[in-house]
Amino acid sequence: MLGKRLLYLRNKHELTQEELAKILCMSRSTYAQYEVDRRKPDYDTLQRIADYYKVSTDFLLGRTEDSVMEECNFPSRLKMIRELNGISLKQLAENLNVSQADVSQFETGGKYPDPTTLKVLADSLNCSVDYLLGRITDPRPYLLESQQSYNTLDTHHSNDPLEDLPEEARKSLEEFKEFILRKYRKGN
């Protein structure tokens, strides 16, 4: 899906692969591999592409058909969702491991968080990075179906060591489990 969206957007903007690769600071061959789905861009590259075209990363990844990005006022959106969550400036600063003055500057537009801080910020406020940046209008983070079952268990304390693993690791374990089951079922 990503490759098709990239090709669509590049053609819509009447750019060659060479021109777009220069804009994105990469080689033409690297970009070309994204368009034919032979290679996937890293997180930062995906964000740069979304920012350049003014579309959401959800649109690029095929999660939505809506390519229009709402104009965002990051500082006011940040303040609004912080207040809706009942989190003080001090609490948020502690969560981010930054000063209270930094959070205040984020909310006034005097300073913007780096990508790592932005991710922690979104997690602390229970919203997505795309929402904070105005790429989507729904503040809830995008959840995979398999993640939702873990979220419903969050209210019940569990000693399951798999709980702390990232989704990718849990998925790999599940795939390995299926592989082992298939392998040894055939032998019986």
What pLDDT digit, counting tens, does each position of 3-56 carry?
A: 888 998 888 888 899 998 898 889 999 999 999 999 998 888 888 898 888 888
What is the rounded CA–CA span in Å between residue 172 and residue 168? 6
Can you list the domains of the chain with their CATH numbers? 2-60 (1.10.260.40), 74-132 (1.10.260.40)
**149 neighbors 87 (Cβ within 8 angstroms):** no
What pLDDT digit, counting tens, does each position of 97-114 carry?
A: 899 999 999 888 888 888
Number of other CB atoms surrounding residue 15 within 10 Å: 15
What is the rounded CA–CA span in Å between residue 10 and residue 35? 10
For residue 90, what pLDDT is reported? Answer: 93
pTM here is 0.41
* CA distance to 56, 178, 187, per residue, from 184 (Å): 44, 10, 5
66 has a pLDDT exceeding 70? no
